[in-house]
Chains A and B, each alone.
Chain A
């Protein structure tokens, strides 16, 4: 186990709705990254948070947004859900960028189905 926990594990939404996914990072880690993994694909980088600020973003529209809290836990919010948003959403925590070994510790993910 990595110590990274995500909730919920599964959820179903309909097109146009909004969703919030949550992540608790491993103790001592202050950087959180979010990834989207569509079926049969590799994880795609959504964004990263460091010290409560966005620290890099992949090729995702603004309706994907996030938050990081003082305890380093994080949320991923997706507005106006589309069918293509159906995927496994992975959270990964890591050490601060300055001392980063590049090793990400992943949670088991939240599987979102959009109908």
Chain B
């Protein structure tokens, strides 16, 4: 069965510092991979997605993620965080045959230190 692991429950970084959120997935084939963000009082918003092709994908708000098949990872990065990036971040996976039946990880809460 497919699954997603986000090993970091809570991360705090200083404003302007770089960020990396970890994500590992378990799936027999190459799945669709996503990162979503959930801010307080707002719905989940898609940051970026990987289906195929270039393993480094660019998303909104300056985020990027790199797919590494050998490590079954899809880590999210941002070179310089802003206070508005404080939110809950979810990595997610979906089978190739059904891209909308998305399985989410348990999330990483990001806090920003002024």
A residues adjacent to B (C-beta < 8 A): 2, 4, 31, 33, 35, 40-45, 48, 56, 90, 92, 94, 97, 100-104, 106-109
Contact = CB atoms under 8 A, between A and B. Distances in A.
B102 A45 contact: yes
Contact of A100 (B4, B99, B106, B107): B99
Contact of B43 (A48, A94, A97, A106): A106
Nearest to B50: A102
Contact of B99 (A45, A90, A92, A102): A102
Contacts of B51: 102
Given A101-B99, A104-B102, A42 B90 contact: yes
26 contacts: A2-B43, A31-B100, A35-B104, A40-B106, A42-B104, A42-B106, A43-B44, A44-B104, A48-B100, A48-B101, A56-B98, A56-B101, A90-B43, A94-B100, A101-B49, A101-B99, A102-B32, A102-B51, A102-B99, A102-B102, A103-B46, A103-B49, A104-B44, A108-B41, A108-B42, A108-B43
A28 to B, nearest CB: 14
Contacts of B49: 101-103
A102 B105 contact: no
A11 B47 CA distance: 30
Contact of A106 (B32, B45, B99, B107): B45
Q: For A42, A45, A48, A90, which residue has the most chain B Cβ atoms within 10 angstroms?
A: A42
Given A42-B90, A101-B99, 7 more contacts: A2-B43, A33-B100, A40-B106, A45-B102, A94-B100, A102-B32, A108-B43
B94 interface: yes
Nearest to A102: B99
Contacts of B41: 108
B110 to A, nearest CB: 15
Interface string B2-37: 001000000000000000000000000000101000
A25 B95 CA distance: 23
A42 B46 contact: no
Contacts of B103: 45
Interface in B40-60: 41-46, 49, 51
